[in-house]
Structure 1
Amino acid sequence: MLLPPPVGSALPIVKTLADCVDFSKTVTPFVDQLIALPSQLVQAGADTEALKHLYLSTNPLISGFAFALAITPIFLIVSEINKNYSQVDRCWSLLPTVYNLHYDVWARLNGLPTQRLDNILAFSVCWSIRLTFNYWRRGGYSIGSEDYRWETVRSWVNRPLFFIFNILFICIAQSVLLFTVTTPTYVLMLASRVSGQNMNTTDIVFARVLMALVLLEFFADGSQWNFHKAKHAYQKTAKVPVGWTREDLEPGFNTTGLFRYSRHPNFLGEQLIWVTLYQWGCVETSSLYNWTGVGAMSYLILFQSSTWLTEKLSAEKYPEYKIYQQRVGKFLPKLTGPGWGEYLEAQKKAPKKK
């Protein structure tokens, strides 16, 4: 029976918190493991003890990244066979939690402190449950369901270019992105070896903020879901459902609750979650910034571009959406100028068209 290897063979030697975010110490020395991993997996075969030994002796950042790369051909093949490009979307709510679970399990098996990782995993599971449930109730897992924005993107380029786009961005870049947003968990695992097991006040604050952001998304999801249910009922029966007004429903897009102050409160929460996790790693290691910020920054860039496309399509579909854009902040509430409520009041006072 093979014994678990010493932690030192799979993790960098870190003596200070600054060492925990030094790319040359925490990542570069283990790149060779990524290259050797495929052949080692073949050699291990179905031998569970050999696989366990390989898992424990491979740097967890490297094995997580290898998994992110390994699943990209699956996304590509399934998407091309079905001509449906929402395959990564279907796994979006699960993969970050898979990586956070991986770090937690790896640390436990190697006898490392896991209190911070346990808290990250708890938040991550709640995040996954919320996002998976919302995606399911919107029909995301139904056969043939696809994000409507991919159809728009396909109309902009020819088939060969979209195939390249599917390989490089949809399958590879998005899969790697869902891994990189969790890399601060790796840093926090390393930092725990220096600072110790117990959560301090700062750790508790970050853990609670992450949970609060999941709650923000939960309420935003509920508001959006309830609005669309009411809108569809109104369109079907021409009767305003109880608890709603014509002013709420006739624009065609949600302007109630959190959406009265932010056009995308759920997107705001989503971006803040991964920025907060990144900042947790920065604060814990006393660093102003570090290499794991690539994940959070890439996530922000993705959401800026996807939100631009979402709003472009909404403005084309709903006549009042451009007014909504002028009066309500995209993510953060506008602190100056008239809001959507003032617009509705002005509409009520305006003379009716004959």
Structure 2
Amino acid sequence: MSALPQISHLEEITSYSHTIAPYLHQLSLAHVLPLLRREVSPTEWYLSTNPLISGVTFALFIASVVLVASELNRNYSQIDRLWSLLPAIYIGHFALYARLSGLNTERLDTLLMFGCLWGARLTFNYWRKGGYNMGSEDYRWNTVKVNIPPIAFFALNVIFISFYQSFLLLSVAAPSYVILLSSFLPEAVLPHWAMPDLLFSRGLLLALIAETFADQQQWAFQTAKASYRATGVVPPKFEKEDLDRGFVVTGLWSFSRHPNFAAEQMVWVGVYLWSCWVGDVMWYWGAIGAANYCLLFQASTLLTEWITAGKYKEYKEYQMRVNKFLPGWRTLIGGDELKGNKEL
């Protein structure tokens, strides 16, 4: 059996029964053993394995490594160090498979370039926050760890931190599989590149730019706050009232409490919607990745805001004034009016 399904109609590229189910047997150990025994070359095994299935196999391996490393080091931020890399690696995997199979890769190459830009931005942010220091750990997991029994936290590590998040990073990139399969269709059915492709790709770039600006504004504020608390001197372009408050409410943060999170969700929802346009469907199994990514950010935001509200007395007022993700009409009209203690 070929590692790729035969595609003759547009509706087939998003069909689970046609493009995924026939290859599930390749998840067995029997399929991997020939590679481990060196009975087949890595290239031969790679091309004889459905690319989505080999992606799942790799995600399973990553989850296992992350679990063991986190338990040995007692540091539960291992998957965070791979967060910026894995989606681009998965997209690159689909692009490589398509290229080796002699398929058109214009959409996949564009998506891969975007994935690399997204990963580079996230890597830079993680690095400048000290995240690649092996002794560092996400403060949220520290907070959770001291509030639940050890056995419950171990279960959380296995199910959510290690395995769920590993497969989540594959699932947000999985629409690339649909885009790969679309390359089987003749240009008369689906052009290799069209105006909607340009709009989707530029939309993703705009979301990334907005996320970058939001992250930079947060970083500049936190840096200024640390300097102010250390020296008592208000840095240029900042106000004492804002720094005393302790959290940023200006710029993009005056329109949304989490503009970076909002843009991040738009990125992977946008990737999914791009594949929906390619497949000429309203929704399909690829929605699992985008939906779960948004659910993860909902849960993460709840935890972050619970911690923040406990640290800053004015944060609850900020929550009442400004929407969590998408701007409300009051903030759209008011803009930066949240500056200063006179407003909060």
- TM-score range for the pair, normalised by the shorter chain length: over 0.9
Structure 1 CA distance, aligned partners of 2:13 and 2:162?
30
- C-alpha distance in 2 between matches for 1:260 and 1:336: 10
CA contact (8 A) 2:249 2:338 kept: no
Aligned counterpart in structure 2 of residue 79 of structure 1, from 64, 67, 70: 70
What is aligned with 2:159?
A: 168
Partner letter of residue 139 of structure 1?
Answer: G
TM-score, structure 2 normalization: 0.94
Residue identity matched to 1:61: L
- Please tell me the root mean square deviation across aligned C-alpha atoms, in Å: 1.8
Deviation of 1:345 (Å): 6.7
Aligned pairs for 1:88-103 within 5 A: 88-103=79-94
How many Å separate the matches in 1 of 2:34 and 2:334?
60
Q: Deviations over 1:9-46 (max 9, x none)?
A: 1111111111000000010000011113321322326x
Matches of 2:239 and 2:153, distance apart in 1? 43
Structure-1 separation of matches of 2:119 and 2:338: 37
Residue 128 of structure 2 corresponds to 137
Asked if 1:231 corresponds to 2:225, the answer is yes
1:288 counterpart = 2:288? no
Q: How many residues align?
A: 339
1:302 aligns with 2:296: yes
Say whether residues 1:31 and 2:9 are aligned partners. Answer: no
- The aligned counterpart of 2:181 is 190
* 3-state SS of 1:111 partner: coil
> What residue in structure 1 maps to residue 305 of structure 2?
311
Q: Tell me which of 170, 179, 204 is aligned to 1:179.
A: 170
Amino acid of the residue matched to residue 28 of structure 1?
A
C-alpha distance in structure 1 between counterparts of 2:340 and 2:156, whole Å:
46
- Which stretches in structure 1 are left out of the alignment for 5+ residues? 1-7
The aligned amino acid for 1:52 is: T
Alpha-carbon spacing, 1:142–1:346, altered in 2? closer, same or farther (3 Å): closer
CA distance in 1, matches of 2:341, 2:303: 29
Quote how far apart the aligned CAs of 1:195 are: 4.7
The one-letter code of the counterpart of 2:273 is: Q
Counterpart in the other structure of 1:111: 102
Cα distance between partner residues in 1 of 2:6 and 2:248: 52
Match of 1:12 in 2: 5
Q: Which amino acid aligns with 1:117?
A: L
Question: Is 2:337 the counterpart of 1:347?
Answer: no
The match for 2:259 among 260, 265, 268 is 265
Taking a change above 3 Å as real, the CA distance of residues 110 and 20 of structure 1, as seen in their structure-2 partners, is: same
Greater displacement, 317-326 / 195-204: 195-204
Judged with a 3 Å threshold, the aligned counterparts in structure 2 of structure 1 residues 321 and 43 are, in CA distance, closer, same or farther, namely: same
Cα deviation code 1:212-262 (max 9, x no counterpart): 111111111111111111111111111110111112211101112111111
Q: Secondary structure at the match of 1:198?
A: coil
The counterpart of 2:113, out of the listed 100, 110, 122, is: 122
Q: CA deviation at 1:304?
A: 0.2
Deviations 1:288-327 (A, max 9, x none): 1000000000001100000000000000000110111111
Aligned partner of 1:157 in structure 2 is: 148
- Letter matched to residue 182 of structure 1: A
Q: CA contact under 8 A between 1:328 and 1:339: conserved in structure 2?
A: no
Counterpart amino acid of residue 172 in structure 1: F
The one-letter code matched in structure 1 to 2:38 is A
Deviations 1:55-101 (A, max 9, x none): 01111000011000011121011101110000001100100001001
Structure 2 unaligned blocks of 5 or more: none
